[in-house]
Amino acid sequence: MNPFLSRRALLTGLAASGIPLAASWPARAAIPARARTLCYIGGYNKHAPPGGAGNGQGIALFEMNPTTGALAPVSTFTDIASPSFITLSADHRFLYALSEIDDFNGRNDGSVTAFAVDRLSGELTRLSVVSSGGAVPAHLSVHHSGQYVLVANYVGGSVGVLPIRPDGSLGEPTDIVQNSGPRMPERAQDNPPGNFAVSDHSGPHVHMVASDQSGNFVLACDAGLDRVYVWTLDLATGKLKPAAKPFLSLMPGSAPRHFSFSHDGRTLYILCEQDSKIVVAAFDPTTGTITPQQRVSTVTSYFQGSTLAAGILLSPNGRYIYASNRLGDSLAVFRVGPDGLLTLVDEVWMHADYGRAMMFDPSGTFLFCANQRSDSVTSFRVDPETGALDFTWHFTAVGSPTTFAFLQL
């Protein structure tokens, strides 16, 4: 027998033997593509107002190693001024970035840029740029309804409401609410010992704005007036209306900066910058009423010196709260009790300088911290049972980072 058969002879023989030909064999199962975790990081660049300029280039895109948490650079969107806060839409199709500036279109305004997100590559395409409704915006969020972007204008002391169009782009503000109130002290009476840092209380300074889980109310921290404001939002007109109790006054000089809700929306955690305290409060989702229940320090009793609290973050399982302390360069770890009250269980070194925003990756395995003055991002592996943070020893070089947004592909 000739061991060397032609292709035609081989196929003829297979057909005669009854063995099915390849064309009729079952198709090979498709191998699913590996899931990718992308991370957008924004911060300050040279286009910030005087005193706020930084070393960033724009919105930097990284890919996260799911095993180690290491971030590898992918690309950078550079054509944007100081994107110091960014957020994704609920469906992750759009990214919204503020520009912390005070000269948009020759006016004393900041701006907000809308981007379309490429769901294959993570690359950004600009859709629109509009006024934030005030100077030097510091925070933005997408309303629970998905119909509006809410913007906190720090220097302007106002909240802007920006309509989201069907294509994800933004329209001009439908409402701008200007806060006002009495001059407050630069320092709080319950400061940590030896805290010489001050917060700007020269006027209203809105530092964060977001809706509650129900979408019935919009809340804003005003660090200049030491108040947390509460409004309702008319979804048809995009207008804000004060709630029955329009604001909660906190410790004079405490500078409420950011807040986080419990998963059920009934407990509100308010982070005060100046005295580095968290105010735990009950929140009534039917009336918007805030009732303080506890004040707890984000530094231990051993701490001496200046510090300013910056960010607050609830763990994915709702059992722990994390808070970052600038100047003190620490991360506070709190256990959340059954009643929502907090117990400080640890204070961890950031391994960097001037940590601000924190964020979990989508799996909740890693916690990332943006360290503005160190030009770096550091990360920690999280124990979901104990809340403990284990430093990964990964330092990611990013110019003046201040904000994160994660995307799972």
Q: What count of other Cβ atoms lies within 10 Å of the Cβ of residue 304?
A: 11
Q: Which CATH number characterizes residue 360's domain?
A: 2.130.10.10
Instruction: Say if 179 falls within a structural domain.
Output: yes
Cβ-Cβ contacts under 8 Å for 364 (sequence gap 6 or more): 315, 316, 317, 382, 384
**Which pLDDT belongs to residue 25?**
35
| Least confident segment among 30-39, 146-155, 373-382 | 30-39
> Going by DSSP bridges, is the β-strand pair 389-397/401-408 parallel, antiparallel, or unpaired?
unpaired
Instruction: Say if 51 falls within a structural domain.
Output: yes
Instruction: Say if 325 falls within a structural domain.
Output: yes
206: confidence class by pLDDT, cuts 50, 70, 90: very high
89-148 pLDDT, tens digit per residue, is 999 999 999 999 999 999 999 999 999 999 999 999 999 999 999 999 999 999 999 999
* Structural contact between residues 393 and 376, judged by C-beta atoms closer than 8 angstroms: no
Total residues found in the chain within this entry: 409
**Which pLDDT belongs to residue 156?**
83
**Which pLDDT belongs to residue 44?**
96
**Which pLDDT belongs to residue 34?**
66
Instruction: Say if 203 falls within a structural domain.
Output: yes
- In whole angstroms, give the CA distance from residue 59 to residue 85: 10
Q: How far is CA 23 from the centre of its chain?
A: 52
State the residue range of the domain holding 62.
37-408
The total of structural domains in the chain comes to: 1
Q: Which amino acid is at 11?
A: L
16-25 pLDDT, tens digit per residue, is 544 444 433 3
344-374 pLDDT, tens digit per residue, is 999 999 999 999 999 999 999 999 999 999 9
Q: What count of other Cβ atoms lies within 10 Å of the Cβ of residue 166?
A: 5
For residues 301 and 159, which has the higher predicted lDDT (pLDDT)?
Answer: 159
Instruction: Say if 4 falls within a structural domain.
Output: no
Is 83 buried (19+), middle (13-18) or exposed (0-12) by CB count in 10 A?
A: buried
**Which pLDDT belongs to residue 20?**
45
Instruction: Say if 32 falls within a structural domain.
Output: no
By C-alpha distance, which of 262, 279, 349, 363 is closest to 313?
A: 262
Q: What count of other Cβ atoms lies within 10 Å of the Cβ of residue 391?
A: 13
**pLDDT value at 391 more than 90:** yes
Per-residue tokens: 31: 């191998």
Instruction: Say if 189 falls within a structural domain.
Output: yes
Q: Helix (H, G, I), strand (E, B), or coil: what is residue 172?
A: coil
**pLDDT value at 41 more than 60:** yes
Instruction: Say if 342 falls within a structural domain.
Output: yes
